[in-house]
Amino acid sequence: MSTSLLRLAKRSLYMGRVVPEVSSKLEESLNSGLADAKRLRTRRNVTLTRLPSLLEHAAQVKIRQVSDAEFRRDAKNLMSIMYNLKLPDDNDTIKLKKSDIKTELEVRDKIKNRPEYLPFEDFKLHEEKVQAKEQLFALIEGKLEEKIRDWHYYDYDERAACLYMASRLAPNYAVSLSVMREIKACDPSFEPGSVLDFGSGMGTTIWSVEETWPKKVREFLNVEISKEQQDLCEFLLRGGKEIGYHIPNVYHRQYLPASNKICYDMIVAAHSLLELPNMQTRINIIENLWHKTNDLLVLVERGNKAGFTVINEARNLILDLGGHKVTRKVPSTFQTMPVPKLVTPDCHVMAPCSHDFICPRSDMRSKNRMDQCRFTVPYEPMNIGQQKPGFLHEEYTYLVMRKKPHPSHLEPDHFRYPRIVQPVQKRGGHIILKICCSNGYLAESVLTKKKYGAASYKIAKACSWGDILPVRAKDEYRKKPWSQFNSGTTLEDVDSDDEEVCEDDHHEDVIDHQTQEDNDEEMK
């Protein structure tokens, strides 16, 4: 089997191949020059993010008070530690690790032919068997201590809070601002009147919200257990001065309000879920936050395996609470079938997902980080007295849940466009896009101007990782199980089979296509 065919076969285990279908109105506007592919509303135009001048000045004032060679070294180390932060082991994970260690030890002992595994083991004394089991248990516990990840509470003093600010202020602000701009792009009419920030830390959410919706928020409530972090947040809000907040109506408290009578237009939990001790605590917090919002719940974490795991946990929990039943997984084959409409869902994923099914990445292999849904934003790091690169990239994963049904559940003519979930690969004459579709599948689209038209090619060429792709997706390749590929199969055979599928007059769409002329007009 050729290398290219092997690569195609392996990819087909996870993805279906799709071809874009641009609406006639949008295609006409692009070809006539009335619309510009680079200026469509579906573009996100992620640019280099810099800290607001007042925020950066206040942070530099604080850093100058404590900065030295040791501080700069510790700040660099903290950046690495925070990025590689992993989930603490829960009871199920510990049991699994114990089982793996026990199996490994037993196999090793059998290979070494230790006496307790000899054929006459049944004739051993009871005391000898008990002693052997105790020794095995002690070995398991000893090795488990080396592998287990315990939860530790980070007790911030003033220096630790400044270290965290020096290493995380710029990337946290860049990520938060990117998410807020995504919310505004998804719904330009949304303006939060009240915001609750759980685990507010340095207050980067306040600054990003104020940058996105200037002077629209009547009340900010910061919930932060660390008094030192609260003090640092207030110092930054004052611009490094003794009195006077740059952003008014900001209140602080250490714990969440016990009552759900007072609700907030938007609740944010950014870089906070990974600091909770276990899954049950995370579930309790997420459910509590969901009951305290009357519109949006925004969750943000680092773009690694642990961050995606907690975000996906929260997504499944909230969708289940809203009646979506995401525990029912989508079929394992890329079938051409309409998306089943839920009867009475009272919530939906606003971003980044284009569907309310289980995340397709949750069942994918970890090679090349395919099991993580993440995005990236460039930012300018703070200058803390060391050589500063021009810019860095911060990877993050996020979720925006809305406490109302998606229009596609209420209006039969509404459509959810796919999102580009990996870097766009621009090759000579063709463009490769990895997209997450509204039917709950990951798919791939390879576009050429000759085959799919100038409009589709213009749109794809202008798109970037994280953009919405303003096209409808149609099947081009059916997923084939690995067993169908044999040593005698050639790549030409696969292509010819796929062409037959494409030419089938009765071939159905991957998605239940509906017309959406109003949305096309808005994009222009």
The pLDDT tens digits for 355-376 are: 888 888 887 766 667 778 999 9
Tokens representing residue 514 in the block: 């509906």
Name the token pair of 338: 């309409």
Question: What residue ranges do the domains of the chain occupy?
Answer: 3-42+417-523, 53-86+152-323+347-408, 91-147
- pLDDT bin (cut points 50, 70, 90) of residue 338 is very low
Buried b / exposed e along 421-456 (16+ C-beta atoms within 10 A)? bbebeeeeebbebbbbbbbbbbbbbbbebeebbebb
pLDDT digits (tens, 9 = 90+) for 378-413: 999 888 776 666 788 999 999 999 998 777 654 444
The closest of 111, 170, 91, 186 to 519, measured between CA atoms, is 186
Q: What is the pLDDT of residue 409?
A: 52
What is the maximum span of the chain, computed from C-alpha positions, in angstroms?
91
Residue 10 · residue 368 · CB < 8 Å: no
| Each residue's pLDDT tens digit, 465-478 | 988 888 776 654 44
Residue 477's CB: how many other CB atoms inside 10 A? 24
Q: Report whether pLDDT(114) > 90.
A: no
> pLDDT at residue 504 above 50?
no
Backbone angles phi, psi at 320, to 5 degrees: -65, -40
pLDDT score of 498 more than 70: no
The domain 53-86+152-323+347-408 is classified under which CATH number: 3.40.50.150, 3.40.50.300, 3.40.50.920, 3.30.2270.10? 3.40.50.150
Candidate from 129-138, 276-285, 479-488 with smallest mean pLDDT: 479-488
11 pLDDT tier (thresholds 50, 70, 90): very low
Across 25-35, average pLDDT: 71
pTM of the model: 0.75
pLDDT over threshold 80, residue 99: no
Determine the pLDDT at residue 486: 38
Q: Is it the case that residue 130 has pLDDT exceeding 90?
A: no
Model confidence band, residue 516 (pLDDT cutoffs 50, 70, 90): very low
Q: What is the pLDDT of residue 483?
A: 36
Q: What is the mean pLDDT of residues 444-460?
A: 79
pLDDT at position 225 over 80: yes
Average pLDDT over residues 405-427: 73
Q: What is the per-residue pLDDT for 138?
A: 59
Please, which residues have CB within 8 angstroms of residue 416's CB and are 6 or more apart in sequence? 354, 355, 406, 408, 438
Phi, psi of 204 (to 5 degrees): -65, -30
What pLDDT sits at residue 266? 96
Asked whether the beta carbons of 440 and 357 are under 8 A apart, the reply is yes
pLDDT at residue 160 in the model: 81
**More confident: 301 or 496:** 301
Q: Give per-residue pLDDT as tens, 56-75.
A: 999 888 888 877 777 777 77
User: Looking at residue 207, what is its pLDDT?
Assistant: 95
> Of the segments 123-127, 163-167, 405-409, 515-519, which one has the largest average pLDDT value?
163-167
pLDDT over threshold 50, residue 444:
yes
Contacts of 186 (CB under 8 A, 6+ apart): 350, 351, 400
Residues ≥6 apart with Cβ < 8 Å to 472: 20, 21, 22, 23, 415, 417, 509, 511, 513
Sequence-distant (6+) residues with CB within 8 A of 10 are: 482
Task: Give percent of the chain above pLDDT 90.
Answer: 24
Regarding predicted confidence, which is higher, 70 or 414? 70
Q: Note whether 461 and 449 are within 8 A (CB).
A: no
Q: Which two tokens stand for residue 250?
A: 């900001």
pLDDT band at 211 (very low <50, low <70, confident <90, very high): very high
Position 390 scores a pLDDT of 78
Q: What does the pLDDT read at residue 471?
A: 79
The whole-chain average pLDDT of the chain stands at 74
Closest CA to 257 of 219, 205, 222: 222
Q: What is the pLDDT of residue 96?
A: 58
The average pLDDT across 248-253 equals 91
Give bridge partners of residue 472 from the DSSP assignment: 21
Tokens matching residue 515: 């017309």
In the predicted model, is pLDDT for residue 106 greater than 50?
Answer: yes
What gap in Å lies between CA 335 and CA 436, rounded to an integer? Answer: 15
Alpha helix locations (H) across 293-331? 305-321
State mean pLDDT over 43-53: 86
- Residue located via tokens 């400044």: 162
Amino acid letter for position 461: K
